[in-house]
């Protein structure tokens, strides 16, 4: 018997104008780990909802075809019976935790089934052990980190005894450490014979985890296959706006140059290292180490390197800044930083390192304990929020925390009215800003009729409309697919080109490498590094201390030092050049 059988499944939500799922067929046997890929709106979540009866029992619509969980038809059995076999973990850690403490939360499922008390306690212990939260029983759920909350959610599902686990973008809201922990759990569960469906945008992690992959687009499975076969089809990824693993992209380029066969295209870090070692068979003679030059004006290196260029005007200066929420537990300890006109700066570090606190102090949402912040030489304490908004904008992570109007126009006008600008000026600015953010919708459109990416654009626009010289943008790409990520980063890059100074908070090192000219690493309240991404990613020890994971290509390059591969290579393009040159030198 199959664990999951999906036959000719089609579904259309009641208010949807078109089919949301079309003719889906899938069979999953016990112990398989299936990766599900697709852009936002491709139908991934909709598909997952059919697996435990949420569709059509909770989310109503027109359904045809059949979904069987083991032998249970999801259109016949109640959701509450199906969830004992199929457990769901959602992307938002906040809205799936019910207990005030950890123990109560894990117990929620088993208690709902009316299991005997001893059994419930045994299950709590077992599932907390599995997710690495042993001895967390009495902790208040509120004080857990995002990663811990997500692990708790997995434990809660495991405690129900589910044999099939559906993870719907489980790491979307997590920092790299939290992500890593979740993926480790998936690996462990796989070893224990659990059947797992994993919806993820992080293809690099997925490639190392899953047995099979399906790609959804417009509600249809448009591609499926063994993990290696799918990830080796790199053009497929760009066609469906997905981000292939860097290493696969690199491999594909080699394949295009006919240096390797298609079957040799690597899909994981290990495979990448092994391939390059094979291509550069001998140890490089010591004389050639670092002798080869990769022209960094090509590819990703074209950004202005701060420090090398002529000194620019200091826009924001932070001196000896310290801050603590609770006495004697400083969050920021003596921070000194100068942000220059035209910088595209990434502020990175684990959650809790003080990134958001730092930005809140810059924008006067918090007052520093000691030290001072100046904007173009003037202390920010002397600014009112209204005046500061004209110079320094802050775009928050979730656009829905600020959108309150019933039309795009009103939303954009809010800041302008606060500034006391007149009707004509307002109209002019709104027109201009909509052009900049490429939000091509009628001014009367209700913001909640916009997609998530468009709402984010609107949020950026509502800050940008005040024409600030500097912009702080907090995790602009969290929870977005590759296409959305690309769009928003390109927008930010354009703004930077037009002269805006940019500070982004992000966890995505690949974006840092690709877009930023400067990266500041915060760790435990101090600045651990302040340099170019290229310099930073050559320092594995420092990265390890800050618990940051460099982009995949950089990780591969670190393992190839003895082959003469320059350590400061960034991105696919440069590695390609380096490998080609090394082969020419070696006479391969």
Partner 1 sequence: MFVDYYPGATIIHRLDVRAKLVAFTALMVLLFFFTNPFYNLLLAAFSTFLLYYLGLPTRKISSILKPIAPILLIIMVITAFTYPADNFVIPVAKVVFYKKGWFEVTSGGVLYGATLVLRIFNMVVLSSILTCSTPLDHFLQVMKMSRLPSNVSFLIITGIRFVPTMQKKVEMVFNAQKVRGAHFDEKGLFSRIKAYIPIMVPLLVQSLYMSDRLAVAMLNRGYGAAARQTSLEEISLTGLDYIFIILFSIVTGVGIYLRFKGIGRL
Binding site for partner 1 (CB under 8 A): 52, 54, 58, 78-81, 83-84, 87-88, 90, 92, 94-100, 103-104, 107-117, 120-121, 141-142, 156-157, 160, 360, 363, 365, 385-386, 388-389, 393-394, 396, 398, 400-405, 414-415, 418-419, 448, 462-463, 466
For the CB of residue 25, give the shortest distance to partner 1 in the complex, in Å.
Answer: 25
For the CB of residue 248, give the shortest distance to partner 1 in the complex, in Å.
Answer: 34
Q: Select 188 or 417, whichever has its Cβ closest to partner 1.
A: 417
Q: Select 236 or 421, whichever has its Cβ closest to partner 1.
A: 421
Q: Select 445 or 585, whichever has its Cβ closest to partner 1.
A: 445
Q: Select 83 or 242, whichever has its Cβ closest to partner 1.
A: 83
For the CB of residue 81, give the shortest distance to partner 1 in the complex, in Å.
Answer: 7
Q: Select 260 or 430, whichever has its Cβ closest to partner 1.
A: 430
For the CB of residue 472, give the shortest distance to partner 1 in the complex, in Å.
Answer: 9
For the CB of residue 388, give the shortest distance to partner 1 in the complex, in Å.
Answer: 8
> Three-state DSSP class for 199?
strand
Q: Select 111 or 367, whichever has its Cβ closest to partner 1.
A: 111
Q: Select 89 or 267, whichever has its Cβ closest to partner 1.
A: 89
CA-closest candidate to residue 49, choices 237, 219, 242, 240: 219
500 in Cβ contact with 494 (< 8 Å) = no
256 in Cβ contact with 572 (< 8 Å) = no
Q: Which residues touch 335 (CB under 8 Å, ≥6 apart)?
A: 318, 320, 321, 322, 358, 371, 525, 526, 527
283-286, long-range: CB within 8 Å, 24+ apart, which pairs? Answer: 283/562, 283/563, 284/562, 284/563, 284/564, 284/582, 284/586, 285/564
Beta pairing class for 33-37 and 195-199: parallel
Buried b (16+ CB within 10 A) or exposed e, 254-271: bbeeebbeeebbbbbbeb
Q: Select 184 or 405, whichever has its Cβ closest to partner 1.
A: 405
Q: Select 426 or 534, whichever has its Cβ closest to partner 1.
A: 426
Torsion of CA 573, 576, 582, 586, to 10 degrees: -160
Q: Which residues touch 288 (CB under 8 Å, ≥6 apart)?
A: 564, 582, 585
For the CB of residue 97, give the shortest distance to partner 1 in the complex, in Å.
Answer: 7
How far is it, in rounded angstroms, from Cα 167 to Cα 397?
Answer: 23
> Three-state DSSP class for 316?
strand
For the CB of residue 321, give the shortest distance to partner 1 in the complex, in Å.
Answer: 19
Torsion of CA 262, 263, 268, 274, to 10 degrees: -100
- 188, containing H or E segment: helix 176-191
Q: Select 298 or 423, whichever has its Cβ closest to partner 1.
A: 423
For the CB of residue 424, give the shortest distance to partner 1 in the complex, in Å.
Answer: 20
For the CB of residue 359, give the shortest distance to partner 1 in the complex, in Å.
Answer: 10
Sign, CA torsion 491/496/501/507: positive
Question: What's the gap between Cα 367 and its chain centre?
Answer: 30
How far is it, in rounded angstroms, from Cα 389 to Cα 394?
Answer: 8
Q: Select 385 or 544, whichever has its Cβ closest to partner 1.
A: 385
For the CB of residue 401, give the shortest distance to partner 1 in the complex, in Å.
Answer: 5
For the CB of residue 389, give the shortest distance to partner 1 in the complex, in Å.
Answer: 4
Phi first, then psi, for residue 163 (nearest 5°) are -105, -15
Question: What's the gap between Cα 344 and its chain centre?
Answer: 19
How far is it, in rounded angstroms, from Cα 62 to Cα 159?
Answer: 33
How far is it, in rounded angstroms, from Cα 93 to Cα 188?
Answer: 21
């Amino acid at each position: 018997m199959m664990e999951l059988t999906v036959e000719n499944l089609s579904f259309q939500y009641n208010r949807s104008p078109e089919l949301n799922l079309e003719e889906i067929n899938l069979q999953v046997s016990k112990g398989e780990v299936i990766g599900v890929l697709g852009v936002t709106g491709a139908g991934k979540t909709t598909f997952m909802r059919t697996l435990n009866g949420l569709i059509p029992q909770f989310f109503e619509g027109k359904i045809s075809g059949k979904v069987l969980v083991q032998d249970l038809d999801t259109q016949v059995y109640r959701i509450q019976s199906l969830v004992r076999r199929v457990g769901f973990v959602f992307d938002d850690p906040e809205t799936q935790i019910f207990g005030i403490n950890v123990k109560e939360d894990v117990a929620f499922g088993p208690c709902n089934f009316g299991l005997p008390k001893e059994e419930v306690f045994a299950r709590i212990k077992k599932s907390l052990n599995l997710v690495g939260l042993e001895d967390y029983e009495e902790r208040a759920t509120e004080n857990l980190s995002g990663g811990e909350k997500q692990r708790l959610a997995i434990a809660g599902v495991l405690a129900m005894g589910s044999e099939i686990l559906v993870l719907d973008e489980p790491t979307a809201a997590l920092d790299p450490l939290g992500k890593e922990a979740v993926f480790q759990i998936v690996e462990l569960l796989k070893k224990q014979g659990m059947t797992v469906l994993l919806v993820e945008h992080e293809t690099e992690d997925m490639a190392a985890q899953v047995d099979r992959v399906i790609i959804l687009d417009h509600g249809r499975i448009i591609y499926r296959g063994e993990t290696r076969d799918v990830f080796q089809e790199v053009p497929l990824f760009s066609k469906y706006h997905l981000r292939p693993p860097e290493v696969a992209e690199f491999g594909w380029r080699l394949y295009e140059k006919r240096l390797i066969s298609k079957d040799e295209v690597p899909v994981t870090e290990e495979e990448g290292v092994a391939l390059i070692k094979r291509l550069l068979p001998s140890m490089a003679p010591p004389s050639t180490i670092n002798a080869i030059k990769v022209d960094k004006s090509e590819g990703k290196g074209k950004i202005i390197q701060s420090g090398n260029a002529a000194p620019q005007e200091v826009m924001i200066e932070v001196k000896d800044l310290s801050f603590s929420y609770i006495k004697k537990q400083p969050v920021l300890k003596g921070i000194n930083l100068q942000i220059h006109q035209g910088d595209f700066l990434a502020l990175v570090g684990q959650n809790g390192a003080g990134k958001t606190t730092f930005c809140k102090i810059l924008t006067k949402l918090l007052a520093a304990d000691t030290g001072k912040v100046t904007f173009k030489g003037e202390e920010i304490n002397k600014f009112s929020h209204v005046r500061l908004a004209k110079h320094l904008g802050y775009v928050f992570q979730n656009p829905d925390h600020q959108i309150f109007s019933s039309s795009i126009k009103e939303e954009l006008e809010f800041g302008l009215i606060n500034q006391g600008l007149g009707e004509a000026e307002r109209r002019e600015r709104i027109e201009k800003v909509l052009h900049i953010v490429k939000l091509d919708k009628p001014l009367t459109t209700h913001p909640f009729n916009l997609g998530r990416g468009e709402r984010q654009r609107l949020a950026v626009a509502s800050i940008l409309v005040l024409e600030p010289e500097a912009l702080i943008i907090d995790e602009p790409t969290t929870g977005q697919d590759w296409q959305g990520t690309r769009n928003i980063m390109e927008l930010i890059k354009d703004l930077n080109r037009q002269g805006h100074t940019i500070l982004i908070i992000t966890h995505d090192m690949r974006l840092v490498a690709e877009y930023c000219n400067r990266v500041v690493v915060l760790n435990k309240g101090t600045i651990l590094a302040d340099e170019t991404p290229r310099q930073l990613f050559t320092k594995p020890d420092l990265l390890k201390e800050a618990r940051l994971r460099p982009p995949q290509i950089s990780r591969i390059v670190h393992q190839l030092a003895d082959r003469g591969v320059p350590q400061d290579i960034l991105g696919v393009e440069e590695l390609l050049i380096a490998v080609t040159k090394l082969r020419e030198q070696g006479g391969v």
